[in-house]
Amino acid sequence: MNKFENAEMLGLRDKSTNKLIAVYPQKATGTDAEIEKIVKDWYYMQNCSAENKLKSSYVDILTEEEIKSYKS
């Protein structure tokens, strides 16, 4: 089973603080590696200078609180 298979929403987090950096606005499908690439590519397309931030971030599943906060 893939880590991201049933995730409602995904986002990028900072590796050192675990703080949410960005929320991926779509439902991602595929293998975990494909999903990580899709989310990181999406973030890079939002801001090309984000390349350095991508090096210190990881794709993660949003918590229920984060989802509620994002949707409101």
pLDDT in tens, 28-64: 899 999 999 999 999 999 887 788 889 999 999 999 9
Please indicate whether residue 32 or residue 72 has the higher confidence score (pLDDT): 32
Please indicate whether residue 39 or residue 5 has the higher confidence score (pLDDT): 39
What's this model's pTM, rounded to 2 decimal places? 0.87
Residue 1 has pLDDT above 80, yes or no: no
Pair 66, 21: CB distance under 8 Å: no
4 vs 53: CA distance, rounded Å:
22
- Bridge partner residues of 58 (DSSP): 13
